[in-house]
Structure 1
Amino acid sequence: MTTVQEAAAVRHGIWVFCPAVGAAAAWALKLLAGWVTALSWFPFQGVFALVTDIPEPWATIGAFAVGAVAGGVFASFWASEMLTVEVSHDRVTLHKDDRVLGFGSDEVESVFTDGKQLVLLSPEGTELAREASDLSREKLERAFTGQGYRWRDADPFAPEFRLWVEHAPELTPDVNALFTARRKAISKYEHAEAAELAREIRRRGVAVRDEKKRQYYRCER
């Protein structure tokens, strides 16, 4: 079996790097608070004044603590977006944010990357999975071809995708509703929610891909 995932330095380092950066940024803002309160035109004066009123060493301790927690939250979000791909002769397994998607080799006709998304196609041409990641295209290609899977250079169905518009006549009301909900999630940068809605749309026989916050679809059945 071949496993493709982010380097260990990235997977483990974010839990040190992000809290450290967050703590440093919060401490820097604490140092700037006194200067900012002297600028009458600067917004949020009340917030900065409140910071300057906190006695030391509590102001510094608080800044480090709040910044570190914020950095930890960001690290958690970053980790949830990481994709791990396990490829063997008889199975492909995708791990992301405690979610596991598994497919037998007989279910996977071919594999390709579309931008930063890994796509698995079935023999019928339906998309089994379309998952975003920062994994190396070259490493993914070697992993799949090394285990006997067909690798494509591009999406063979790319010309069939159409721009989604409200109440698209080709789609059923429930699928249009999912697209509407997904548009809201994308506008709010709720990536996990948008990905889950895309999976729901895919389960209804419609492939979905994004380009600059626009949604495109392809009816698979």
Structure 2
Amino acid sequence: MDETIVATPWWARVAVWTALPAAGAGLGWVIREVPGWVLRIPFVPVRGPLRLVDRFDEPWATLGAVVLGTIAGLVLAGLVDRESLTVRISGTQVTLTRPGTTRAVPRSAVAVAYREGDQLVLLGPTGREVAREPSHLSVARLAAAFGTVWSAQDPYAGSYRRWVPDLPDVPAEAAALFAARQQALDKGDIDDARDLREELARLGFVLHDRKKRQHFRRVDGL
């Protein structure tokens, strides 16, 4: 079966896992050396705490700082790599894969595909959102892979309006989800905001976030 694949280049993923831990290790070393450098400057205030830090035994202090920096770099690399998307398009389905998660959508259910910021969005024939995944893939490659269903922008861009509490045409169940999601956005809880977006999608709401403000449109014919 013919299959078109658009993936994050392997060398880019290797670079992330190599460069970020190395940068973290370097930053750890720099932070360890900062107190000594600062203490060489005359009239620097708060010299007591700086002297205390500078007296830590070597080479353990430097080694500890480098190890902690490396660990921080590995954590950051893992967060970045979570957004390494692979798109597989066959005659029957579209599969979106990231480390730890896979979502498959029937190809017949994808009427529009477009890029919104750093996310790939797939819409169904009724305008319902059927998939949304972080993506830094080439727009040109995605456009070639999706063909005629690819759009340069959201075709429903003019249909959104801002959510505020107590809108009369938003059912109570959806209003509670909107309120909970707003709290998640304010706290920067990306995972919870994503889960609540999917819950609202099941109720017929398609969301677009602008600077932590929720905008939505209703979908008929679910």
Q: 1:139 to 1:177 in 2, by over 3 A?
A: same
Q: Which amino acid aligns with 1:105?
A: R
- From 89, 112, 115, the counterpart of 1:87: 89
Q: Does 1:184 align with 2:189?
A: no
- Could you say which residue in structure 1 is the equivalent of 2:108? 106
Structure 2 letter corresponding to 1:127: E
Q: Give the gaps of 5 or more residues in structure 1.
A: none
1:55 aligns with 2:46: no
Matched, 1:40 2:45: yes
Distance of 1:97 and 1:189 partners within structure 2: 21
Superposed CA deviations along residues 95-143 of structure 1, whole A, max 9, x for unmatched, are: 2342221111121122222233222111122111122321111111111
The share of aligned pairs that are identical, in percent, is 37
Deviation at residue 154 of structure 1 after TM alignment? 2.3
What RMSD over aligned residues (CA atoms) do the two structures have, in Å?
Answer: 2.2
CA contact (8 A) 1:51 1:59 kept: no
Q: Distance in 1 between matches of 2:55 and 2:64?
A: 13
Corresponding residue for residue 154 of structure 2: 155
Is 1:27 the counterpart of 2:29? The answer is yes
- Using the TM superposition, name which of 69-78 and 181-190 deviates more: 181-190
Aligned residue pairs total 215
Q: Equivalent residue of 2:133, what SS?
A: strand
Deviations 1:53-103 (A, max 9, x none): 320000111011000000001111111122221111211011234222111
- What is the identity, as a one-letter code, of the residue corresponding to 1:178? L
**TM-score normalized by structure 2?**
0.87
Deviations 1:122-174 (A, max 9, x none): 112211112232111111111111xxx52223222111111111233322233
Give the Cα separation in 2 of the matches to 1:174 and 1:19.
44
Q: What is the rounded CA distance, in whole Å, between the counterparts of 2:95 and 2:140 in structure 1?
A: 18
- Given that 1:209 and 1:217 are in contact with CA atoms closer than 8 Å, whether structure 2 keeps it comes out as yes
Deviating runs (4+, > 3 A) in structure 1?
Answer: 35-39, 48-51
Which of residues 73, 76, 84 in structure 1 aligns to 2:75?
A: 73
Q: 1:25 to 1:154 in 2, by over 3 A?
A: same
- Picking from 119, 122, 126, the partner of 1:120 is 122
AA at the equivalent of 2:196: L
Query: More displaced, 86-95 or 177-186?
Result: 177-186
